[in-house]
């Protein structure tokens, strides 16, 4: 797999610092799983963050700090949700496996969106309100022309699409916002499967597409 499109250092830094929302963070984790280059960048950023922390002046603890720490140690452990097996995610083409980053998620089955287009809603236990979707689109098909009121974070898991800016293939990462007006169309070689986190909403040009997007929460 040759990856051509990566998150910028600003996004990698936000991921390393833990400041991303749950949905975009999951998309980033999925990209890092496939991309050794970005994993190495995150490692460097984490090391740099550790050095900066070491250089900070020590701060005074509150009078209750020790008591609060001991109380936390004595508290009963929180129940951690068990990882869900890959079978809780919808079926994939032969020879393809779901990324490990999605193991904690549950999902609906593939649902009809339009001819040659299906979707699934992902649920992340740590943030059930995160707007996460899987899109599965046949060769030659594409989403209607749209822009965004917020940001759309996408990791391509299988296949490839061209949205008029670039061709994005398996392993590639993209963030689109209100400045992007595009129509991702699946390229030759088979269907395309993507993981997407949506912040805000997708602004489709077509009234019919807008109505369908409203029904599925996109």
Q: For 138-160, how does the pLDDT look when each residue is reduced to its tens digit (9 = 90+)?
A: 999 998 899 988 999 999 999 99
Residue 114's CB: how many other CB atoms inside 10 A? 14
Whether residue 85 has pLDDT greater than 70: no
Q: Contact at 8 Å (CB) between 194 and 176?
A: no
Q: How many CA atoms lie within 13 Å of 188's alpha carbon, on the beta-carbon side?
A: 0
Backbone angles phi, psi at 117, to 5 degrees: -135, 130
Mean pLDDT of 30-53: 85
Which residues does 60 contact at the CB level (< 8 Å), separation at least 6?
Answer: none
Q: Which tens digits make up the pLDDT trace of 60-82?
A: 778 887 788 888 887 776 655 55
Q: Contact at 8 Å (CB) between 197 and 130?
A: yes
Confidence of residue 130 (pLDDT cuts 50, 70, 90): very high
Q: pTM to 2 decimals?
A: 0.81
Q: Which tens digits make up the pLDDT trace of 166-207?
A: 999 999 999 999 899 999 999 988 999 999 999 988 888 888
More confident residue, 50 or 10: 10
Whether residue 86 has pLDDT greater than 80: no
Q: Tell me what the pLDDT averaged over the chain comes to.
A: 87
Vertex 1: Cα angle to 188 and 189 (nearest 5): 10
pLDDT of residue 51: 54
Q: Which residue has the tokens 């963030």?
A: 175
> What domains sit in the chain, N to C, each tagged with a CATH number?
1-53+97-218 (2.60.120.10)
């Amino acid at each position: 797999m040759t990856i051509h499109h990566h998150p910028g250092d600003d996004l990698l830094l936000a991921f390393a610092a833990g400041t991303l929302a749950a949905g975009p963070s999951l998309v980033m984790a999925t990209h890092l799983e496939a991309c050794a280059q970005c994993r190495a960048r995150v490692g460097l950023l984490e090391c740099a963050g550790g050095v900066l922390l070491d250089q900070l002046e020590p701060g005074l603890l509150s009078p209750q700090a020790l008591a609060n720490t001991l109380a936390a140690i004595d508290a009963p452990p929180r129940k951690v949700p068990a990882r869900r097996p890959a079978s809780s995610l919808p079926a994939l083409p032969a020879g393809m496996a779901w990324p490990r980053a999605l193991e904690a998620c549950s999902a609906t089955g593939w649902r009809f969106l339009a001819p040659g287009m299906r979707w699934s809603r992902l649920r992340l236990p740590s943030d059930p309100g995160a707007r996460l979707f899987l899109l599965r689109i046949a060769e030659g098909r594409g989403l209607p022309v749209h822009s965004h009121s917020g940001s759309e974070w996408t990791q391509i898991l299988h296949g490839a699409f061209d949205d008029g800016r670039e061709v994005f293939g398996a392993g590639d990462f993209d963030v689109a916002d209100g400045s992007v007006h595009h129509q991702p169309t699946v390229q030759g070689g088979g269907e395309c499967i993507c993981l997407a986190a949506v912040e805000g909403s997708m602004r489709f040009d077509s009234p019919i597409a807008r109505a369908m997007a409203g029904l599925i929460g996109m």
